[in-house]
Amino acid sequence: MNTIARTVATLALFGAGILSGMWIDHRSDRGPSASPEQAATVPSGARQPLYYRNPMGLPDVSPVPKKDNMGMDYIPVYADDLTDEASAGHGLLRIPPARVQKIGVRSEAAALGALDRALLAPGVIEADERTLGTVAPRFAGWIDTLHVAETGRTVRRGELLFTAYSPELLTAQQEYLIAHDAARSGSDGFGAQLLRTARARLLNAGFDAAQIGALERSGEPLATVGVHAPADGTVLAKTAVAGARFASGETLYSLADLRTVWVIANVHEHDLGELRRGQPARLRIDGFPGEVFAGSVDFVYPTLDQATRTARVRIALPNEELRLRPGMFGRVELQASGANERVLLVPDSALIDSGLRQLVLVEHAEGVFEPRVVVPGRRGAAHVEILSGLAAGERVVVRANFLLDAESNLRAALAGFSAAPADADGSDAEAGSHAHGHGGH
């Protein structure tokens, strides 16, 4: 029994020696403890920052004070700035009310309404192609007297443009007079057939029934013949010059009726689904400030410009006073289809686009926000349609939301930083590696 007791006592003393040696070695590895002077450098009641964040809102944190590449000090973040929800990974972000007021956070409720959407496109005024006309005589000759001698003049149908001398037309008149006399004196049908042929030749050359009647009454061919305007219009171009020779079929005048003009607008490819015939359109021109010219979509061209990815849209505009001139540029506003349809809308400033997804910050309570992914639809002048991810009545942040989004990125970075074991010596090199390793969240 005494032998067993001595053995147990010996083992106990040996174990105590080993533990004592381990404690001494551990103290020597850690080095000397902090002196009272070093401990007194940090007041016991002062808040200790958990980390320091980038002053520009970038997702970069540091365990020690540092400066960014522009020389700005990193901002300390304290424990009372964080919430249990954020650190627990619940996706909620809570900001103290004082900070919310300081950064100017403002929210609005998502609501059903009509999208204030209008399609804007540049446009240029052109003449109505359906009213274009030319004056190209069907005979050759020389211009004798020019009655319409300037471009831009408005003419009426049948108005005399110029008189011309034409040897071939003179010959055609003489042949008609001979056939006319033969038809009156002859008893067979040959003379009548000859008269019909000669009359058709004059009509094809541009004579009308009144000119042929005057020729029959006078019995003498006309030395010069008149050329008249084929329709109402404005002279857009003129090559006719007094005394000049012209060939058969040569264009001497170009005319267009400008009482109706076209506006050709270039609409982006992604807006083609909003176009339809009869769609109301409005035109604004810098030359007439404050005025709006109303028209409608007359035609949507079936091809797309490969370079600009736009489609041509034709808008017809009345122009009785001839104030709109071909070549003018303007801004076209088209009322989008479905303008009266009620959809879920949020202000366009509420949408945050990260490049891969779109999200909004939903306000659950004062200072409590939730980043939520949404699917946006059409965009209006000041609102965005939300197809899914949000319900009517939920409040979304519409001002300073990018600051809150940056704050939530910092919280996520902090969670990753806190999960890594910190080195006891706190060297600058080690701190820098931590900051770069977790700053790209």
- Residue bearing the bigger pLDDT, 319 or 440: 319
Could you read off the pLDDT of 266-294 as tens digits, one per residue?
A: 999 888 888 888 888 999 999 899 999 99
Taking CA 153 as the corner, what is the angle to CA 148 and CA 159, rounded to the nearest 5 degrees?
A: 50
DSSP code at position 249: T
pLDDT for residue 75 is more than 50: yes
Residues forming beta bridges with residue 113, ordered by sequence position: 343
CA distances from 434 to 48, 50, 68 (A): 19, 14, 15
- Contact predicate 317/296, CB 8 Å: no
Residue 195 CB partners (closer than 8 Å, separation 6+):
176, 179, 180, 182, 183
pLDDT for residue 15 is more than 60: no
CA distances from 393 to 71, 346, 362 (A): 44, 10, 11
Its pTM surpasses 0.75: no
Quote the CA–CA distance of 343 and 340 in Å, as a whole number.
9
Residue 129's Cβ-count burial label (10 Å; 0-12, 13-18, 19+) is: exposed
Residue-level pLDDT at 23: 36
- Residue bearing the bigger pLDDT, 236 or 428: 236
- Over residues 221-233, the mean pLDDT reads 91
Percent over 90 (pLDDT), the chain: 35
In 3D, which of 146, 164, 340, 306 has the Cα closest to residue 247? Answer: 164
Residue-level pLDDT at 91: 59
What residue has token string 């950064």?
103
Mean per-residue pLDDT of the chain:
78
pLDDT for residue 11 is more than 50: no
pLDDT for residue 410 is more than 80: no
pLDDT for residue 417 is more than 70: no
- Contact predicate 135/235, CB 8 Å: no
DSSP code at position 274: G
- Over residues 288-304, the mean pLDDT reads 92
pLDDT for residue 237 is more than 70: yes
Could you read off the pLDDT of 178-226 as tens digits, one per residue?
A: 888 888 876 567 778 888 899 999 999 888 888 888 888 888 898 899 9
End-to-end CA distance of the chain: 69
- Over residues 412-419, the mean pLDDT reads 49
Residue-level pLDDT at 126: 95
Quote the CA–CA distance of 177 and 168 in Å, as a whole number.
15
